[in-house]
Structure 1
């Protein structure tokens, strides 16, 4: 099947009705099946008769024009402690041996992540990669929202302390965070009189050459940080992530709790405005973060939340993702 276009592959697979899917991810045997989105995507794929492979980004290889992976065929089941079975690892050609690759390894969004995206980008026109790696690479989660500054809280990206000083003077309490961090790591709330401010900046700048993101603090975070899922450009729904008492960060990685929530007109308007851009850029599953009607992040790398969305709203985001992929393959 080497060299077939995406639509050619779809026609060739139509006779068997069995797509072949590879998940580029952190080891499947270590995931928490009650909350892991990649596991949910794999389970839904298998229920549709698809065959599954798993490999890590360290198993991705470019060899004289071919993009290969040292992958494990796998089968999954919703059984804690026995949720995955593997066959022996073998080399597969991602252009010939699979029809869909899900790029689902966790950040950080570093040079290893960017390199993996560059390699998967070479599959364009032969194998569908979700989310499209060209745009994942080009749309860091705290950078791409800058195209929608009118939806964001006041924001600065800088490494110049005098400029950050001026931003603090204008906005009072601020949030400072790493530009390419994830999971709530390294996020600090600084009040105007915080004596740790200079030391904190020095620490950031000593450990990294990157600038930091500084944003005006949104008091509404105490009421929660909404995770809103957008699937192939369409709003699927959302839920709230509420921080622990005394905590600013609402990420579930750091103890935030998921709760049902009604989306406001502004939440819906934000998702509606972003949707066409995300669909055009091949972003099948996206999670945006909204606090008090302000957009803070657009998560493209390995967004989570499908379990919570289904629990609170009944919307099966994994089914919607596969419906979208099948439509794209059939187009």
Structure 2
């Protein structure tokens, strides 16, 4: 029996701006195309609600795995989103109100039977930084606040801290404040916008020198290899976007302990494609908006992570 050709939508940042050699969305789309499913491309500006129905301007996307002229659109049409079988929400942070509004639109499509990955409600509920605190036994000493006095006392007690915004990605806006740093107050004033904006403060984890591990999980099943992002000299951030180098590693015992504990909740919340970050034996982030590092693993290990995701979609729909 021939399998149904699926109509798979994707909401992402402008495709003409991506770097295809390391873009996880592109890797996923190539696999979708290989299986002869139809790809309906959308950007945030294309989504809208009309009389309570979710619509979008869509373009049928065709891809070529080459450095230039790697895509073209063959058709443009406004359609009700419930005409699609699946929608992949792959818009990069910042996680702001515009992102939240888009999840409301996608939720209307979901209510009419469309499989949305990841689940719109959970995209709103599970902030990539704060959600880690639902698994506090695996998390470094952490404070979430906008109160300067609380941050000051946390710094004095821990002596070496990391301060992160709650809504960004790629290491953007992250500061390390060491003991007796004279810049403490100016950094915290900026990070909290003078006590008007929440941020996350964590104890510094020296194990960062061995890499910030990105582990990918598909429907609760972890890829047994991870990307260890190692910071360059004189840099606190290990993110690839911040110049970190990449080493592919097998998962360790503590990694599996964390994965086995959290995977059931991820599945329960409809968080089908997730990237968790572990430094040493500490869980630091649960990335659910547009997890990356598929290409880095697939180019070094004979495994298809994008294939795992498409297998899940096909098994769910058929």
Q: Same fold (TM over 0.5)?
A: yes
Q: Take 1:268 and 1:206, find their aligned partners in 2: how far apart are those partners?
A: 38
Aligned partner of 2:274 in structure 1 is 286
CA deviation string 1:222-255 (max 9, x = no partner): 1110000010111113121111111110111111
Q: Take 1:209 and 1:72, find their aligned partners in 2: how far apart are those partners?
A: 41
Q: Aligned-pair RMSD on alpha carbons? A: 1.4
Aligned partner of 1:151 in structure 2 is 138
Q: Take 1:209 and 1:312, find their aligned partners in 2: how far apart are those partners?
A: 44
What displacement does 1:36 show? 0.5
What displacement does 1:163 show? 1.1
* TM-score, scaled relative to structure 2: 0.96
Question: Residues 79 and 129 (structure 1 numbering): CA distance in 2 closer, same or farther, change over 3 Å?
Answer: same
Structural mapping, 1:154-233, within 5 Å: 154-206=141-193, 209-233=196-220
1:77 aligns with 2:64: yes
What displacement does 1:37 show? 0.6
Question: Residues 87 and 207 (structure 1 numbering): CA distance in 2 closer, same or farther, change over 3 Å?
Answer: farther
Aligned partner of 2:242 in structure 1 is 254
SS for the counterpart of 1:275 is helix
Q: Take 2:195 and 2:26, find their aligned partners in 1: how far apart are those partners?
A: 33
1:134 aligns with 2:121: yes
Contact 1:28 1:54 in 2 (8 A): no
Q: Take 1:242 and 1:249, find their aligned partners in 2: how far apart are those partners?
A: 8
Structural mapping, 1:44-59, within 5 Å: 44-59=31-46
1:236 aligns with 2:223: yes
Q: What count of residue pairs does the alignment treat as equivalent?
A: 316
Q: Take 2:211 and 2:3, find their aligned partners in 1: how far apart are those partners?
A: 46
What displacement does 1:121 show? 1.0
SS for the counterpart of 2:128 is coil
Q: Take 1:50 and 1:205, find their aligned partners in 2: how far apart are those partners?
A: 46
Question: Residues 78 and 276 (structure 1 numbering): CA distance in 2 closer, same or farther, change over 3 Å?
Answer: same
What displacement does 1:213 show? 0.6
Aligned partner of 1:116 in structure 2 is 102
Aligned partner of 1:104 in structure 2 is 90
1:24 aligns with 2:11: yes
Unmatched tracts of structure 2, length 5 or more:
none
CA deviation string 1:42-61 (max 9, x = no partner): 11001111011111011101
